[in-house]
Structure 1
């Protein structure tokens, strides 16, 4: 009878080493690309939402009055506020200007949508909130107006 030989430790280390190298490949993606992609993606969502509101303002007012049912605020005030927040926030996030403030503002919009309007769409709202939290906690990144302004006004310590 022949004994079944186990793979040598060198071949296991080679295979395990290769696996570890492959798994760690994404760590080489520059974080600035992650930040830029997050900003562009979330800006697109809110820009499109604002554009659809503006495309048919009477329908927008009707939705705010009849479907959204926001407490404590009149629909004729809520609709322009939401639209302005989406337009302003998406533009600022896209360019990376006052991006942490814009992210905070849009997180407020997401919170209102989640709590009062469409709570059943929590997974989509969580995705938006995750991208906004990335911008809020880590900033807009190197490819942003915020970064350029910071570099321009950086004082020597």
Structure 2
């Protein structure tokens, strides 16, 4: 191996070693907060106080047209889900289930509502998939509960 190859290999190994030291909980918090923010903001556009806006029903009847359930049900479900699951993600409670539910919503949105929005949805998939696969991390209620129960 030449001196240049040895130097490059050393830098690659150093960089890989630094990347390996990134704690799971840091990545999990970033994933949880970033995707929770997106869904919370979407939920906020659907409500006025504790009631659904009339425009929400109109959107689900005319634009979104999700074929899996009546538009009124879809409007209520999405508004509730976009408020409950982000909060659960933020506090790290039932994180894997919350991630699965939001990922299911994302799949419905991708398939039936906005099929051209996959560049955005793929980032949601990565964040939610990471949470589903690895859990919420040490900075979560899930972790505290698991610690108490073991």
| TM-score between both structures, scaled by the size of structure 1 | 0.86
Following superposition of structure 1 onto structure 2, how do residues 7-156 of structure 1 map, counting pairs within 5 Å? Answer: 9-10=2-3, 12-55=5-48, 57-154=53-150
User: Which residues of structure 1 form unaligned runs of 5+?
Assistant: 1-7
Count of paired positions: 147
Q: How far is the alpha carbon of 1:30 from its aligned partner?
A: 1.4
How far 1:38 sits from its partner (Å)? 0.4
* Larger mean Cα displacement after TM superposition, 49-58 or 134-143: 49-58
Mark the CA change 1:72 to 1:9 in structure 2 (over 3 Å): closer, same or farther. Answer: closer
- Alpha-carbon deviation of 1:28? 1.8
RMSD of aligned Cα (Å): 1.7
Distance 1:73 1:32, change over 3 A: same
Q: How far 1:42 sits from its partner (Å)?
A: 0.8
Runs of 5+ consecutive residues of structure 2 not aligned to the other structure: none
Cα distance in 2 for partners of 1:140, 1:72 equals: 30
Q: What is the Cα deviation at residue 77 of structure 1? A: 1.3
- Where do 4+ consecutive residues of structure 1 move more than 3 Å? 8-12
Per-residue deviation, 1:105: 0.9
* 1-structure distance, mates of 2:68, 2:28: 35
Q: CA deviation at 1:12?
A: 4.1
Deviation of 1:10 (Å) = 4.0
